[in-house]
Structure 1
Amino acid sequence: MSVYEEYRKKLTTPEKAVSIVKSGDWVDYGSFTGQPVALDKALAQRKEELLDVKIRSVTAVKMHEVVKVDPEAKHFVYNNWHFSGLDRKLHDQGLCWHIPILYNELPSYYRRFLEVDVAMIPVTPMDEKGFFNFGPQVSHTRAICEKAKKIILEVNPKIPRCLGGREETIHISEVDYVVETEWDLPEVPPAPPSETDLKIANYILPELVDGSCIQLGIGGMPNALGGIIAQSDLKDLGVHTEMMTESFVDMVESGVVTGARKTLDRYKLTYTFCLGSKKAYDFLDNNPRCAAYPVDYCNNPGNIAKNDNAIAINNCVEVDLFGQVCSESSGTRNISGTGGQVDFNLGAYHSKGGKAFICLESTYKNREGKVFSRIKPILTPGAIVTTHRAMVNYIVTEYGMVNLKGKSTWERAEALISIAHPDFRDELVKEAEKLGIWRRSNKIAP
C-alpha cells in the first residue's frame, strides 16, 4: 500500500475521529501554535457524552472550545504546562490547572510516567515519503506521540514546514486518523520595548562579544535587546534558544548572526518552538538555516554549554535580597511557569565565557497605582522560587547590573540594593539589618 493509499484510508472527519475519546481519558493537545482547532471543536460537541476527560496543552493563545462549553469543568479538565495570559485568567476562574516542569525534562515525563490515551496534533500536509512535519513546535511533540495509544493528525496547509534537527516529523504509518482543515497560526506580535527595557538592554549589550551564542526569553526587554543587537557591530553571533522570535530574524537579516563560531550545530539557528508573528513563521518555513530540535536536546544544559560565550537573557517577577528569583507567580497566583529559565541559566554559566542574565524592572504598580519594589527583603509569601539563589549569575534592572556568583549574603544584599529603585533603598537596608544580612561597612551609592 502506498503512503497516499494509507492516507486516504485514514482520512476521516473531525467528528468521527474524536469518537474514540472516552470518559476519563487523557488527551494531549500539543503546544503553542500547534494545538487543534477542528478536533477541539468536534470534541466539545460531545460534552454531554463525556465526563472527566483530561486535556493537556502548553500556552494557549486562543480559548479551547472544550473549556468554553464546560464552565463547571465537569466534562473536560484543562491542564497546562506553561500559562499564557489566557491560561492565567482561566486558572483564576478554576478552569485551568498548572503542571510544574523543568522544560528540558518534559519529554522524559511522557516516556517514563504519563499516560496519553489520545494525541491530537496539528501538522503540515504529508510529503511524498509519507511524513508530516510538526511545524514550529517540536518541543515534546514526538514524546507525546510515542506514548499515545491513538494519534489523530489535524492537517493544516498554513503550518510552516520547520526543518530539523530531529523529531520534527511523524510518518503516516504511525497514526490512526487524519483530518483536514485550514486556519491561520495564532500570532503573538513582539511587545514594543519600553524606555526601561532599553536601559536594561544597554547594560547587557557590552557583555556580548563576537561569536556569542544567544538565547532570548519572551517579553519587551529581550525583544529590545534583540533589536539593539541587530543594529550593532557584533559579528558571527550564534543562536541556541528555546523560543525563536522575530528578533532573531532581524539579526539574521542584518548580518550579525551567522553561526560560524558555534561548536554545536554550526551555522544553524537552534530552537525548539516559535510563538510569534507571521514574519517569524515565514522565516522558518523550509529554511535550512534553522534547526528545530526536541526540548530535551535544545534545553539540555550540557548542550547549551557546548557553545562558547553562551548568553542567556530572561525576565523575572521579583528577586529577594538572598538572590532567590521568582519568575512564574505573583504570590500564590500562578502566572506562567518555570519554562527554560533554569535550563539556560545553568547551561550558559557553564559555557566557556558564558553569562546568564535575569532582568526585571525595579518597580511595579498595583491596581490602585501604588508603587512597590520588585527587589524585596524576602519573596512575597507563597511566591515560587524559579531560579535557586546559588544558580543566579547576573541580575539587571534599569539602575545597573550585579553578579551574584561567589557573593556572601551581605554582599548579595549590598549588590541588589544598589540596583533597586532609589526610593526603596533605605527601606531595604533596614530590612536587611533585621534579616541579619547587612554589615555596618556596607555602602550603597546614592
Structure 2
Amino acid sequence: MDYQAKYQEKLTTAKEAVKVVKSGDWVDYSFCANHPVDLDKALAERMKEDSSLKDLKFRGGIALWQPEVTKLEDAPGRLIWNSIHTTGIERKLINSGICYYVPIRYSEVPRYYRENIKHVDVAFIQVAPMDKHGFFNFGLSSSHLAALCEISDTVVVEVNENMPVCLGGFEVGVHIDDVDMVVESSNRPMAEMPSGKTSEIDEAVAKLIVPEIPNGACLQLGIGGMPNAVGSLIAKSDLKDLGVHTEMYVDSFVDITMAGKITGKRKSIDKGRQVFTFGAGTQKLYDFVDANPSIMAAPVDYVNDIDVIASLDNFISINNTVEVDLFGQVASETGGTRHISGAGGQLDFVLGAYKSKGGKSFICCSSTVPTKDGSLKSRIKPCITEGGIITATRANTQYLVTEYGLVNLKGASTWERAEKIISVCHPDLRDELIEEADKMHIWNRTNKRV
C-alpha cells in the first residue's frame, strides 16, 4: 500500500482545510497539547472575513494557549468553547462568557463521545508525522482522541515534527485511511506547561507524604507545586522499584526516573512501563517520552479505570484540592461558584487507590490562602463555600494533608473526622472551627482541644 501517495492526495493548506466548517457546526479541537495551531489561526482569519459564519460550538480542554477563534471581538456572539477540563486560560474565557465546563469524570470521556455525543462535524488534531505504516501518532494526548476520530464526519490532522511519538498498546493514533485532510504545520516547538516553583508549604506537605510510600509503590501525581514537591523528595529518597500509572505525565516523573527510582518491576500489569493518558510539561519531558519504550500512552478509559488502578498493589494517588469541610467533603473544581478546573480523574484515583491492596489516596492543600488585604483565609471550612462543587464525597476521602499534619479520615465518624480535620488546619483558626463544629453537632464534649 502506497501510504505516501494517499498522504499527498489529502495534503492541503490550513486555509483550504477550514473551509469545511459551516455555521452551526461542532468543531472539536482535541485536547491539551494536541489543540491545533495553524488550523485555529486559519479559522479565526476566515471568521474575520466572513461574518456570516457563526453559531460554532467548539470542544477542547486543558488549553495551553488561548485559541485564536476566542480572541475575535465578536466571539461571544458567534461561538461557544466547551471544555472537558479547564486551565487558567479557560477560566478567563468562562468569565468573559465564551467558555462553559463539561462536568464529567475524565475516565468516562471516550464512552461519552461514542455513546452520547455520537457525532462531531469537524475534528482538528495536532499529531506527529505519519510513520511508514500510515499512522499519525497522537503523541502527548491519547486521552479520548481515537473515539473522537471514530465519530467525526471530517478529520483534519495538523502535522508537527516536534510532537513526541508516544508508544502504547492501543488507541494511540489515527490511520491515513481515516483522515480526510492533512495540513503540515510550521513545526513550532510544543507548548510548555512548567510545574512552577515549590513553596515551603509544598515541601512541608511532601515531607509528610513520602514516608507513607513503600518500595515498589505505583505513583499517580497531579500537576502543581505540591505533587512536584513530592516528586522532588522521592527523587532524593531511598525508595526503589517504583512504578507509574498516572492520568497526567509531568516533569517530576522524569526527575524520579533519572534518579533511578522508577523501574516498574513490581507492577502486576504493564510491567516496566510508565503509563499515562496525556502529558504536559517542559521540553525535558517531551524529549524523554519521545519513542521511549518504557513509556506507555493509553486512552483515559483504561488509565483511569478504577479496576485497573486497583489491580496495581500499593497504589499511591496524590492530588490537590481547593477546599475541604469538616465533614471531609473535597471541593477541587470551584471556589464557591467561581470555576477553577474540573472533576478530571481525581475521584477515579481516590477510589482506585483505596481499592488497591496497600493503596493510599492523599488529598493535599495548604491550610490557608492569603487574601488581598493580607489576612489568611482557611481552606478548611465548616461547610464548603456556598455554590462549591463536591469532587470527592466524604465517604471516599482517605488521607488529608496540610503543612500541619496528615490524617486518615476513612471510616471515621463525624465527630472523629471533625477532630482530625481541625488538627491539620491553621492553629489560629482552630477555636473558631471547633465552635462551628459544635453548632453542627459534630463536636463531642470528649473531643481533644486540638
Shared fold, TM over 0.5: yes
Q: Does residue 4 of the first structure (1) align with residue 4 of the second (2)?
A: yes
2:247 and 2:278 in contact (8 A); partners too:
yes
Q: Does residue 122 of the first structure (1) align with residue 126 of the second (2)?
A: yes
Structure 1: how far apart are the matches of 2:205 and 2:155?
Answer: 45
1:34 and 1:134 in contact (8 A); partners too:
yes
Q: What's 1:214 paired with? A: 219
Taking the TM superposition and a 5 Å limit, the aligned residue runs for 1:280-299 are 280-299=285-304
- The secondary structure found in structure 1 opposite 2:33 is coil
From 132, 157, 163, the counterpart of 2:161? 157
Q: What's 1:417 paired with? A: 422
Structure 2: how far apart are the matches of 1:152 and 1:207?
Answer: 47
Which ranges of structure 2 fall in alignment gaps of 5 or more residues?
Answer: none
Give 1:103's aligned amino acid. Answer: Y
Taking the TM superposition and a 5 Å limit, the aligned residue runs for 1:248-263 are 248-263=253-268
Structure 2: how far apart are the matches of 1:71 and 1:395?
Answer: 45
From 393, 412, 429, the counterpart of 2:434? 429
Q: What's 2:38 paired with? A: 38
Q: What's 1:25 paired with? A: 25
Per-residue Cα deviation, 1:10-53 (whole angstroms, up to 9, x for no partner): 00111111111111110100111110011101111222231111
Taking the TM superposition and a 5 Å limit, the aligned residue runs for 1:178-327 are 178-181=182-185, 182-327=187-332
Which ranges of structure 1 fall in alignment gaps of 5 or more residues?
Answer: none
Per-residue Cα deviation, 1:279-319 (whole angstroms, up to 9, x for no partner): 00100000000000000000001101111000000000010
Q: Does residue 441 of the first structure (1) align with residue 440 of the second (2)?
A: no
Q: Does residue 93 of the first structure (1) align with residue 96 of the second (2)?
A: yes
- The secondary structure found in structure 2 opposite 1:113 is helix
Give 1:165's aligned amino acid. Answer: G
CA shift, 1:94, in A, is 1.0
Give 2:108's aligned amino acid. Answer: E
Per-residue Cα deviation, 1:99-147 (whole angstroms, up to 9, x for no partner): 1110000111100011311100011111111111011111111111111
CA shift, 1:184, in A, is 1.4
CA shift, 1:364, in A, is 0.7
Q: What's 1:111 paired with? A: 114
CA shift, 1:192, in A, is 1.1
Q: Aligned-residue CA RMSD in angstroms?
A: 0.9
Q: What's 1:391 paired with? A: 396
2:62 and 2:85 in contact (8 A); partners too:
yes
Per-residue Cα deviation, 1:189-217 (whole angstroms, up to 9, x for no partner): 11111000011001111111110000001
Structure 2: how far apart are the matches of 1:247 and 1:8?
Answer: 40
Q: How many residues align?
A: 445
Structure 2: how far apart are the matches of 1:270 and 1:251?
Answer: 15
CA shift, 1:223, in A, is 0.2
Q: Does residue 81 of the first structure (1) align with residue 81 of the second (2)?
A: no
CA shift, 1:59, in A, is 1.0
Structure 2: how far apart are the matches of 1:366 and 1:91?
Answer: 22
Q: What's 2:179 paired with? A: 175
2:69 and 2:75 in contact (8 A); partners too:
no
- The secondary structure found in structure 1 opposite 2:12 is coil
- The secondary structure found in structure 1 opposite 2:288 is helix
Taking the TM superposition and a 5 Å limit, the aligned residue runs for 1:344-359 are 344-359=349-364
Give 1:283's aligned amino acid. Answer: F
Q: What's 2:135 paired with? A: 131
CA shift, 1:74, in A, is 1.9
Q: Is the deviation greater in 305-314 or in 359-368?
A: 359-368
Structure 1: how far apart are the matches of 2:211 and 2:45?
Answer: 55
Structure 2: how far apart are the matches of 1:165 and 1:199?
Answer: 38
Q: What's 2:367 paired with? A: 362
1:198 and 1:224 in contact (8 A); partners too:
yes
Give 2:129's aligned amino acid. Answer: P
Q: What's 1:50 paired with? A: 53
Give 1:365's aligned amino acid. Answer: P
Structure 1: how far apart are the matches of 2:375 and 2:88?
Answer: 23
Tell me the TM-score normalised to structure 1 length.
0.99
Structure 2: how far apart are the matches of 1:444 and 1:147?
Answer: 58
Structure 2: how far apart are the matches of 1:66 and 1:398?
Answer: 42
2:329 and 2:393 in contact (8 A); partners too:
yes
CA shift, 1:70, in A, is 4.1
1:417 and 1:444 in contact (8 A); partners too:
no
Structure 1: how far apart are the matches of 2:137 and 2:33?
Answer: 13
Structure 2: how far apart are the matches of 1:97 and 1:322?
Answer: 29
Q: What's 2:337 paired with? A: 332
CA shift, 1:97, in A, is 1.0
Tell me the TM-score normalised to structure 2 length.
0.98
CA shift, 1:72, in A, is 4.1
